[in-house]
Chains A and B, each alone.
Chain A
């Protein structure tokens, strides 16, 4: 089981808004550690958001993030077919002394 918990799957129609939660604990997200988000598809991986909500250059503003307490959320608005992929959150865990990922969420565009 992953230290950070994500829903296994999320579904949405084109144009809809979907959200992906990433729930941790007081040794990681809750201790103030930032959450980063990635998009993986096939053999390709891409940074979507760093420091909870900062979009790197080239990432559409349809992707947004937030953090509160021991959880973080990735939101995708105006869902597009190309957004169909696996999404992972990442943070640092103080107790483990290592970077940890969520279990991943598969986004399916209906």
Chain B
């Protein structure tokens, strides 16, 4: 059974960098992409980006300038970095297993990490 755990700093000041890591067990890490998605009261759900075990990435154009994802296949982990956060970046952040087709979907989700941005 696939298990996804997430961790990272949940309280940030404006202009800092958000950094989250996702650890996966019980799944074939290399057969999927791994996405980051966030949920905020003002904008609902928003797909941030995804990464494959080869390090191939795709990002939401609206966030592309500030986002970086990375992967460590030896640890079955992937990470998200979002630069220059503002209050608009606060919300729940999810890591999710993602299918590889163009019209992809997320079939297994981790428990959300709460991110607060406050000075």
Interface residues of chain A, those whose CB is within 8 Å of chain B, are 2, 33-34, 36, 38, 40, 43-47, 50-51, 56, 88, 90-92, 96-104
Which residues of A are found within 8 Å of B117, using beta-carbon distances? none
Q: Does B44 sit within 8 A of A, measured CB to CB?
A: yes
Interface size on B, residues (CB 8 A): 25
Residue from the list A45, A56, A88 in contact with B44, Cβ < 8 A: A88
A45 and B96 within 8 A (CB)? yes
A97 and B61 within 8 A (CB)? yes
Interface residues of chain B, those whose CB is within 8 Å of chain A, are 37, 39, 44-47, 58-62, 92, 94, 96, 102-109, 111-112, 114
* Majority secondary structure of chain A interface residues (helix, strand, loop or mixed): strand
Closest 7 pairs between A and B when the two form their complex, measured CB to CB: A43-B112, A36-B105, A101-B45, A45-B109, A99-B47, A104-B44, A92-B103
Beyond A44-B109, A99-B104, 15 additional contacts (C-beta under 8 Å) are A34-B105, A38-B45, A40-B45, A43-B92, A43-B114, A45-B94, A47-B105, A47-B106, A50-B105, A92-B103, A98-B62, A100-B47, A101-B44, A103-B44, A104-B45
Across the interface, name the chain B residue whose C-beta is closest to A94.
Answer: B102
Which residues of B are found within 8 Å of A91, using beta-carbon distances? 103
Q: Assuming A45-B96, A45-B109, A50-B107, is B44 touching A2 (CB within 8 A)? A: yes
A98 and B105 within 8 A (CB)? no
Most buried by B among A34, A43, A90: A43
A92 and B102 within 8 A (CB)? yes
A44 and B105 within 8 A (CB)? no
Query: In angstroms, how far is the closest chain B Cβ from the Cβ of A17?
Result: 25
CA distance A91 to B108 in the complex (A): 17
CA distance A13 to B111 in the complex (A): 29
Residue from the list A33, A101, A103 in contact with B47, Cβ < 8 A: A101
B45 and A44 within 8 A (CB)? no
B39 and A40 within 8 A (CB)? yes
Query: In angstroms, how far is the closest chain B Cβ from the Cβ of A49?
Result: 9
